[in-house]
Structure 1
Amino acid sequence: MVELTGQSLTLEQVKRICYDYEQVTISKESLQKVEQSRKAVEKIVTDKKTIYGINTGFGKFSDVIIADDDVNDLQLNLIRSHACGVGEPFPEVVSRAMVLLRLNALLKGFSGIRPVIAESLVTLLNMKIHPVIPQQGSLGASGDLAPLSHLALVLLGEGKVHYNGRIFVTQDVFLKEGIQPVVLQAKEGLALINGTQAMTAMGVVNWLEATQLALQSDMIAALTLEGLEGIIDAFHPAIHEARGYQQQMDVAKRIRDLLSGSQLITRQGEKRVQDAYSLRCIPQVHGASWQALDYVKEKLEIEMNAATDNPLIFEDGNLVISGGNFHGQPIAIAMDFMKIAVAEFASISERRIERLVNPQLNDLPPFLSSQPGLQSGAMIMQYVAASLVSENKTLAHPASVDSIPSSANQEDHVSMGTIGSRHAYQIIQNVRRVLAIECICALQAVEYRGTHKMAPATQAFYKDARKIVPSITQDRIFANDIEQVTEWLKKNNLVWTANLVLIRN
């Protein structure tokens, strides 16, 4: 059970809640802050003060004063009108993360909701009822309005939900489970949708998957080094300490640890003086991507515990300020940075694939074929990797440099952070497939060299991988192999991945 406070949520806790379905509870102190904040809103309504989003319209309509009798309808109309997202839904794990992160933000006590709103979000999480939320339609400022409106619809008993592996109409699931829909009151609709939780939730899932991929990149690169009889001297600690980047030193150490005891690696001058960059510069390239991932982690953990709606209520309602914490620029830039960093794992991997299959660059059978000419072997797998890498170059174009004014030019600069986070997710899926192709090729290469000469760590990986994909003894439909290895890499319970995490720590 994870206790939520609005202040201390970590990525490790998010992983437990969103992937392992650990339940959540609300701290007493946070609930008290929520209650105090709500009293402030009720006093504003009673005193007939004019406050944005409580008794005014939204966006360009902020100057329209709403009658007392219409305050609740204002919130309902807001959710229904803003729930106009389009496209495929976010992955269910992202939807779960969105519920969690919106709940955590509301528990800070600056948003003016009633406790029942927070408790309803807890119910969704603990009963594994997740809103169906279309991916497209957010500008990443004024909050992730469209995606979060689809989340809010579910609290009202409307929209659709993921439940028990299927998609249902929300009302049917609520009736089955005896859940009462909420009726929104003053400010509550705005408090639910004015935030960055779509881009941040997608970003959190991206980071969790990307860090696993980064570790897998090191393992698969180590396997390739054995397949190509790479030179281990380039990973000597003195080289990396001389430059001083901790992440680069970490990668070099992981490669050394993984290849400890290998009879397939060589020393400089034995077979060649130095390797190509895609082998020799693994710590420098992978390490630089780790630097970016560490930056992204820092920004995500701040945003996960941030108050991002508008207006915010301070000093028991004596200070209500309209500001711009809903603007997604910090996460937009972080997601763009992540896109570039993760894409590089595939870029250098594809070059290692080329060195594994190109007979002009190695002494292995051409394209790792068992019968070169009659059988094409891994020839077209390299094409696929090259295609995915090229696609990533397009996806890696920064979304945050774009902005289109909205709401009659009232909202005249936006972050496009949700687009950036979605593109980062697509890049991650492409990178995983490129690594799967390198893995298949490297497995074949070490077989030609002699698996009995492998390091204990890479040999253990080899044995596990061979349970997923067999040796290439003749041409077959390699698309199946790529997808099987890709799915295997995506699983979170790989023993060798856990071991690599320990090495990094």
Structure 2
Amino acid sequence: MTDVMAATAPESADTVEIDGYSMTVEKIVHVARGAAGVFPTVVLSDEARRLTVEARDYVEANWLTDDAPPIYGINTGLGRLMDVRVPPQDQDRFQNLVINSHSAGIGEPLPADETRALLLLRTNALAKGLSGVRVECLDRLISILNAGVVPVIPSQGSVGASGDLAPLAHLVSVMVGHEKGEAFLGGERMPAVRALELAGLPTEFKLAPKDVLALINGSTISLATAALALHDARQLARQADVALALSLEAVRGETAAFDERIHAARNAPGQITVSRNVRAFVTGSRRTTEKARQVQLPDEHRPGAYKPRVQDAYSLRCAPQVHGTTRESLEFAETLLIREANAATDNPLVLPDGNGGFDVMSGGNFHGEPIGVAADLIAIAVAEIGAISERRSFRLTDPNLSYGLPLNLVGGQLGLNTGFSIVHCSAAAIASENKVLCFPSVADSVPTKANQEDHVSMCTFSSRKARQVVRNTQIILGVEFMLATQGIDLAAPHLGDEAGLGQGTQAAYDAFRAIVPMTREDVYQNEQMARAQQFVADATVIDAVGEVL
């Protein structure tokens, strides 16, 4: 298993091509977040355009006629109204009424990066040419994305069954220039018509039969949110190894538990990678040696003469097993999400019949079960990173558990200064929040649509929870970076020649201290914690230790 953060960069820094088949997490993040405020241009591949036009031509020639048989969503109503025919003369009005009935989302708007990822992924799903949608719809979505128009999409209201119907309808309301639609442009919230106008786009866009259903089918909001959570979770998994190594340095830990033979014996690729990373980080360390452990710190209680430590607590010794399982869980989640990112999730689908024509077939590809399982797994895996990190932070504040580091890691006069005990309490509180957020949403189901949708995935909440767990764990890891570096600083004067850090841990220490300085006296901790969280969110330390790996 290679390091989980190894990834292929997008094909071009300036252009990302949509073809329906080759979407990756890296492309999603690149389009969603850009780089230094600059976003790539998204284009539709020639082959995707050809396939989309070919399928649509067949739909119009064969199924949009007065004598066509009832075909769900093309000439019938939706949901339990599937048996009710919509006359051809009412089709234009039907498209707009569907927007009205389905724009039932509620709650805070999705973040801009999730919305941009959504625009990309919904277009990619349609680009497979299996939805019978007009290619003009794909071009409209791409033009909105490239123009920097960010639709206001409520984050709540989807059960992840027939796709994220309600939230996606709000996307379509912006797409058509609906009078009630809203969008952000340049960070400012405004009516959709105004945003389109300022962006230089036509303010009206007419939908044709099948268009609206194709646009709102599929759990694409859930997918966009989960994909970004996955990317950030992979960043956390790698940084957790660095934080672990710094904590190991702070308590002068033993490194035998990271011997490659131990991890080869379990044959678990994830923990093999983590143990290799930690060994690389502490290479050259003078602190993780028996000679350093023989030094008695002022607050270290030793009954009798020094005795070898033998083995450290689980939060240090078993970290490769925990971190490694997280890495492997994220790899499985990525398998599910990338498969979904390159899937046709519309219903009905317009499928080649092998004889130059097409069949229209109803199915359930819109069901968000794969996304829900992946997102719930991301939440659980990342929460475990946070849980074991919080335990290491706790040990660092107790002299009896840290082998003599000052109580609460106070750098000055004890009593006058409280130190980092409340900083740790914040990490403990957030770790507890993560436990609640780990309840799998996908295990729940509330039947809807007059029991036509009698099993739903609830994947939209799974994805939102996963992203919240990731944000929470960024804080928890930031706290560990704070406490480990403080412990390293406080022990240094007593260790003399044995104070040297490893090759990777020194680089990580320098990177963190450039942002969060060492403190001898209590300071306004919230500011320090915010800097530490940003340090983790930006994954600054990955570049700092990159050469070591």
What's the TM-score bracket when you normalise by the shorter of the two chains?
Answer: over 0.9
Q: Could you tell me how far 1:79 is from its partner in structure 2?
A: 1.5
The residue that corresponds to 1:481 in the other structure is: 528
Distance 2:174 2:314 in 1: 52
Q: Could you tell me how far 1:317 is from its partner in structure 2?
A: 5.5
SS class of match (1:450): helix
Structure 1 segments of 4 or more deviating over 6 A? 501-504
Q: Could you tell me how far 1:450 is from its partner in structure 2?
A: 2.2
- Whether the 8 Å contact between 2:177 and 2:193 is mirrored in structure 1 is yes
Distance 2:419 2:145 in 1: 47
Q: Could you tell me how far 1:160 is from its partner in structure 2?
A: 1.5
Structure 1: tracts of 5 or more residues without a match? none
The residue that corresponds to 1:27 in the other structure is: 45
Q: Residues 502 and 194 (structure 1 numbering): CA distance in 2 closer, same or farther, change over 3 Å?
A: farther
Q: Could you tell me how far 1:4 is from its partner in structure 2?
A: 1.2
Question: Do residues 398 (structure 1) and 417 (structure 2) align?
Answer: no
Return 42-51 or 323-332, whichever deviates more: 42-51
Tell me the amino acid that sits aligned with residue 25 of structure 1. Answer: V
The residue that corresponds to 1:190 in the other structure is: 213
Structure 2: tracts of 5 or more residues without a match? 1-14, 295-307, 494-498
Distance 2:548 2:132 in 1: 45
Tell me the amino acid that sits aligned with residue 497 of structure 1. Answer: I
Q: Could you tell me how far 1:45 is from its partner in structure 2?
A: 0.8
The residue that corresponds to 1:15 in the other structure is: 29
Question: Do residues 297 (structure 1) and 334 (structure 2) align?
Answer: yes
Q: How does 1:103-182 map to 2 (within 5 A)?
A: 103-158=123-178, 159-180=181-202, 181-182=204-205
Q: How does 1:209-358 map to 2 (within 5 A)?
A: 209-267=232-290, 271-315=308-352, 318-358=358-398
Tell me the amino acid that sits aligned with residue 163 of structure 1. Answer: L
Question: Do residues 447 (structure 1) and 522 (structure 2) align?
Answer: no
String of CA shifts for 1:479-499, please: whole Å, max 9, x gaps: 11111111122125x2x4146
The residue that corresponds to 2:60 in the other structure is: 42
Q: How does 1:359-370 map to 2 (within 5 A)?
A: 359-362=399-402, 363-369=404-410, 370=412
Q: Could you tell me how far 1:501 is from its partner in structure 2?
A: 6.5
String of CA shifts for 1:172-202, please: whole Å, max 9, x gaps: 1212233123111101000000011111000
The residue that corresponds to 1:491 in the other structure is: 538
Return 368-377 or 322-331, whichever deviates more: 368-377
Give the structure with the larger helix fraction.
1
Counting aligned pairs with the same residue, the percent is: 41
Tell me the amino acid that sits aligned with residue 458 of structure 1. Answer: T
Correspondence for 1:458 among 479, 486, 505: 505
Q: Could you tell me how far 1:503 is from its partner in structure 2?
A: 6.9
Distance 2:43 2:126 in 1: 14
Q: Residues 500 and 152 (structure 1 numbering): CA distance in 2 closer, same or farther, change over 3 Å?
A: farther
Distance 2:103 2:461 in 1: 17
The residue that corresponds to 1:411 in the other structure is: 453
SS class of match (2:452): coil
Question: Normalised by the size of structure 1, how large is the TM-score?
Answer: 0.96
- Whether the 8 Å contact between 1:233 and 1:267 is mirrored in structure 2 is no
String of CA shifts for 1:112-142, please: whole Å, max 9, x gaps: 1111111111112212212111111100000
Tell me the amino acid that sits aligned with residue 59 of structure 1. Answer: G
SS class of match (1:360): helix
- Structural RMSD (CA): 1.6
Return 247-256 or 122-131, whichever deviates more: 122-131
User: Max radius of gyration: which structure?
Assistant: 2
- Whether the 8 Å contact between 1:232 and 1:267 is mirrored in structure 2 is no
Question: Normalised by the size of structure 2, how large is the TM-score?
Answer: 0.89
Task: Count the aligned residue pairs.
Answer: 502
Q: Could you tell me how far 1:145 is from its partner in structure 2?
A: 0.5
SS class of match (1:388): helix
Distance 1:161 1:287 in 2: 41
Tell me the amino acid that sits aligned with residue 366 of structure 1. Answer: L
- Whether the 8 Å contact between 1:161 and 1:170 is mirrored in structure 2 is yes
Q: Could you tell me how far 1:168 is from its partner in structure 2?
A: 2.1
SS class of match (1:406): coil
